[in-house]
Amino acid sequence: MWLYVVAALLGLLLLRRWHRERQTVPQLSEKHVLITGCDSGFGNLLARQLDARGMRVLAACLTDAGAEQLRAATSERLQTVLLDVTCSKSIADVTAWVRQRVGDQGLWGLVNNAGIAIPTAPNEWLTKEDFVKVLDVNLLGLVEVTLSLLPLVRRARGRVVNVASVMGRVSCFGGGYCISKFGVEAFSDSLRRELRPFGVRVSIIEPGGFQTGMMEPAPLVKGFVRLWERLPAEAQAAYGRSYLDKYAKSSTLLHRLSSSRLSHVTDAMTHALLSRCPRSRYAAGWDAWLLFLPLSYCPAWLSDTILGFFLPIPARGTP
């Protein structure tokens, strides 16, 4: 008897959640959304999707070529601006540019999408500067952009959408990428709690493997070789040349297994921006749901064992 009651209540709760999440915010044509990293990948597709829905998209690109191509593929509503998230002056200039366009209405949505992944390799192969290069874009740039635009988002009682990764839950390889995504998770969590009293909602997007061009096999393998060649002879002997070759092959294989359907991620971003009841976290991709999220809840010895099957063994390591 009680089992049926619990099942019925659970069903009603899920139905209520589904109904609330399907409701969208009104007056989309009057809302401004700033998206970083719109030259390609998720940011580019999201900008085109929101523009098609009649929103006022402010697309921040790194290059003139990326901005020009996006403008050619969208309506006159969409406006582009050049933004280097590692440059404080560039962020300040874009903030002033956005303020002029949104006026007293404020900025409804901020999507922190800009990111890089290379250089990535075993941690011992990297220098501090290699880590800083990634952290400046993926974490520190995201933080500074958010802090600069928060007054405008708060005025609109709007949304902040930060792109993290399943690698922000399970660190699978060395370098600054996974570290930066763990940082995005932490920053977003604290920001969500701080801004809730102002009516601002903060969501985290956690994509799995997608073919965005960020980790193409050719430049990735070239980077591995370059990093390998600058290693001291003792480190090269410890890892062995076969380690380099197998590491490059495993990275290439992971890229091939990645999904080309970027809409799985941009649909989650769109829901976070437009739903009356957005979620705090959105996982996207089959590998996120079936592999990495379950691994993040496993004890360390189990997750290490499973991930160890995909990593080569150094020449002087213990199998």
Residues tagged active-site? 177
Considering only CA atoms, which of 176, 170, 164, 148 is closest in space to residue 202?
164
Q: Which residues pair with 201 in a beta bridge?
A: 159
**Strand ranges in the chain using DSSP code E only, listed in sequence order:** 32-35, 56-61, 79-82, 109-112, 159-163, 201-207, 281-284
Residue 200, helix vs strand vs coil: coil
**In angstroms, rounded to a whole number, what is the distance separating the alpha carbons of residues 212 and 167?**
16
Nearest residue to 182 (alpha-carbon basis) of 203, 193, 166, 202: 166
- Annotate 72-123 with DSSP letters as a single string: HTS-TT-EEEE--TT-HHHHHHHHHHHHHHHGGG--SEEEE------S-S-G
Per DSSP, 314 falls in state P
50 close to 300: Cβ distance less than 8 angstroms: no
Largest Cα span, the chain: 71
Q: How many CA atoms lie within 13 A of 90 on its CB side?
A: 14
How far is Cα of residue 64 from the mean position of the Cα atoms in its chain? 23
Whole-angstrom CA distances from 94 to 19, 35, 139, 189, 291 are 37, 12, 18, 25, 39
The DSSP symbol for 62 reads: S
